[in-house]
Amino acid sequence: MVSKPLVSIVSAGLSKFGRLDGMYCRELFVDAAKEAYDRCPNLNPIKDIEALFVGHMGESYEHQGHTGPTLADWAGLLPKPAVRLESACASSGAALRTGILAILSGMHKVVMVGGVEKMTHRTTAEVTEFLAMASDMPFEQWHGITFPGLYALMATAHMHEYGTTEEQMARVAVKNHHNGTLNPKAHMQKEITVEKAMASKVIAWPLKLYDCSLITDGASCLILTHPDLAKKFTDAPVHVIGSGQASDAIGIYEREELTTLKAARLAGQEAYKMAGVEPKDLDVAEVHDCFTIAEIIAYEDLGFCSSGKGGNLIDEGTTELGGKLPVNPSGGLKSKGHPVGATGTAQAYEIYLQLTGQAEKRQVEGAEIGLSHNVGGSGATANVHIYRRA
Amino acid sequence: MAAKCNECGTVLLPPKPMCTKCLSTNLKWIELEGAGKLLSYTVIYIAPEQFQSITPYTVGIIELKNGLRLPGMIRDVDPKEIRVGMNLKIDFEPSTSSQWPAWPRYFFRPF
């Protein structure tokens, strides 16, 4: 029995993702906001939007903090309250959840949630250092363990315990790169092969270049309202019917297991229960493939298969476009790109397009129920949202 | 060193000022054994600036007998020789940094 909606998405916007020289967070966010405004002519943004919650991970990139009011100003939303949320790579998933709470509380009728990150003007070494700030300083960063290093530790453990292979991880990259060629806003627009992925340079063994998501510039946003008000703004809203979030120790060495993200499992269970749906009911999902092993672990954590069987799902083609449960039709973080603060609501944007039949060449036919899975850091934060076509 | 709760017996690594199971602040220091089994490892090729001079380097997580885990660098062994499950001992070296954070560094090596 599918539950009643928590909130409705009445519009959504996404900037181009990629290396966007000369565009900084504020310009990127305007691109996303303008698309959302233009999609929804019945909405008067200046009058109707009552608050902004925006995910943004790092002030180091632009030496600019206090992102909330800055983006509210550039998006034409002053003097409405605006808050930045930081939960590493799950920042805008957390902003979405905060927006849901704001609507459910009754304090606001219409809010904008979104996220943004500008990364490509920094060197790879700088980005590696900034991203590592979302891991444990005294025991992980201190020993030179990078973000790819943390997921590589999970990958080695998964390979050892379940026999997952480097080829299976490469196949995740091949799938998501293919999907990216069907998404004009994706950062990468090129097919790759398993051989090419396997031969790419090692970043943190067993993870190679093509196992890693991209350093990307981009912004995303959604406009949320109470389900009873949605029809005032659009004939085709998408309802959010489940929201789950959980936390775990920041250091992976403090967690119960290396082969699963407990916070993601708990967030998924909460969201499924709230939504009244099961994994078999899903038509499409966007999961947090910051590294290819993360997508394999996500299949297991979200109940798409049992523990240790994530590699089989990719081998069998279940999660390809045309498969039983297409995962990351947008290209995912791997090919669409991963502007960290923007990723959570960019996943929701893709699900919004899919459930309203606007995903063009990558459309999952007849998709009615979708899921997004957004992970912060190495899994100390995870949030899962479930959506239904109105 | 780790912290042990005098109320409920929970061992905290890293040591924390309050027990996260029973919220007691009645804790004592205990010494940990100096060796463990390797749970997982990786070889880092792309590193932040302060580690670039030593790439590629190996890091891993070891599990001590009581189930506690520690991450750290693995030295004095060819990455090709490293296996999950191998025994490693913990060695210490003084901090080389005079700036914050200046806590000492430990690393793992084969017996």
- Residue-wise pLDDT for A155-192, tens only, equals 999 999 999 999 999 999 999 999 999 999 999 999 99
Mean pLDDT of chain A: 97
Tell me the backbone φ, ψ of residue A273, rounded to 5 degrees.
Answer: -65, -45
Please give the structure tokens belonging to residue A168.
């299976």
What is the structure's pLDDT at A40? 98
CA angle at residue B9 from B5 to B13, to 5 degrees? 60
Least confident of A205-209, A226-230, B22-26, B94-98: B94-98
CA angle at residue A126 from A125 to A129, to 5 degrees? 90
d(CA A299, CA A315): 13
Side by side, which strands form the sheet with A369-376? A82-85, A52-55, A110-117, A218-225, A7-14, A238-247, A381-389, A369-376, A284-286
- The Cα of A148 is separated from the nearest Cα of chain B by a number of Å equal to 8
What is the structure's pLDDT at A353? 98
Spatial CB neighbours of A118, under 8 Å, sequence gap ≥ 6? A23, A24, A25, A28, A61, A62, A217, A339
Amino acid at A153: L
Interface check B71 vs A, CB under 8 A? yes
Assign 3-class secondary structure to chain A.
CCCCCCEEEEEEEECCCECCCCCCHHHHHHHHHHHHHHHCCCCCHHHHCCCEEEECCCCCCCCCCCHHHHHHHHCCCCCCCEEEECECECHHHHHHHHHHHHHHCCCCCEEEEEEEECCCCCCHHHHHHHHHCCCCCCCCHHHCCCHHHHHHHHHHHHHHHHCCCHHHHHHHHHHHHHHHHCCCCCCCCCCCCHHHHHHCCEEEECEEHHHECCCCEEEEEEEEECHHHHHHHCCCCEEEEEEEEEECCCCHHHCCCCCCCHHHHHHHHHHHHHHCCCHHHCCEEECCCCEHHHHHHHHHHCCCCCCCCHHHHHHCCCCCCCCCCCECCCCHHHHCCCCHHHHHHHHHHHHHHHHCCCCHHHCCCCCCEEEEEEEECCCCEEEEEEEEEC
d(CA A9, CA A110): 10
Interface check B92 vs A, CB under 8 A? no
A18-39 confidence digits (pLDDT tens):
999 999 999 999 999 999 999 9
Spatial CB neighbours of B15, under 8 Å, sequence gap ≥ 6? B1, B2, B3, B27, B29
What is the structure's pLDDT at A8? 98
Q: Is A89 a catalytic residue?
A: yes
Nearest Cβ partner of B84 from A140, A160, A203? A160
Rg (CA), chain B: 16
At residue A138, does pLDDT exceed 90?
A: no
d(CA A201, CA A207): 9
What is the structure's pLDDT at B102? 59
Please give the structure tokens belonging to residue A209.
């270049």
The residues that bridge with A8 in the sheet, in sequence order, are A225, A239
Spatial CB neighbours of B80, under 8 Å, sequence gap ≥ 6? none
What is the structure's pLDDT at A111? 98
The larger pLDDT score, comparing residue B66 to residue A120, is at A120
What is the structure's pLDDT at A1? 55
Amino acid at A281: D
A47-64 confidence digits (pLDDT tens):
999 999 999 999 999 999
| 8 A C-beta contact, residue A254 and residue A55 | no
Q: Cβ atoms within 10 A of the Cβ of A113, count?
A: 32
Candidates B61, B86, B108: best to mutate against A (most CBs of A within 10 A) is: B61
What is the structure's pLDDT at A187? 98
What is the structure's pLDDT at B50? 84
What is the structure's pLDDT at A129? 85
What is the structure's pLDDT at B49? 84
What is the structure's pLDDT at B98? 65
Candidates B44, B74, B106: best to mutate against A (most CBs of A within 10 A) is: B44
Nearest Cβ partner of A129 from B45, B49, B105? B49
Average confidence (pLDDT) over A337-350: 98
| 8 A C-beta contact, residue A118 and residue A18 | no
For chain B, list residues with pLDDT below 70: 95-104
Spatial CB neighbours of A301, under 8 Å, sequence gap ≥ 6? A260, A261, A264, A265, A268, A373
Side by side, which strands form the sheet with B11-12? B11-12, B2-5, B27-30
Spatial CB neighbours of B88, under 8 Å, sequence gap ≥ 6? B35, B36, B37, B38, B60, B62, B74, B108, B109, B110, B111
- The Cα of A248 is separated from the nearest Cα of chain B by a number of Å equal to 13
Nearest Cβ partner of A253 from B52, B61, B105? B61
Please give the structure tokens belonging to residue A318.
């279940």
Interface check A129 vs B, CB under 8 A? yes
- The Cα of B93 is separated from the nearest Cα of chain A by a number of Å equal to 13
The residues that bridge with B60 in the sheet, in sequence order, are B41, B72
Interface check B90 vs A, CB under 8 A? no
d(CA A176, CA A182): 10
Interface check A38 vs B, CB under 8 A? no
CB contact under 8 A, B42 and A138: no
| 8 A C-beta contact, residue A70 and residue A102 | no
At residue A304, does pLDDT exceed 70?
A: yes
Cis ω on the peptide bond leading into residue B101 (within 30° of 0)?
yes
A265-290 confidence digits (pLDDT tens):
999 999 999 999 999 999 999 999 99
Tell me the backbone φ, ψ of residue A347, rounded to 5 degrees.
Answer: -65, -45
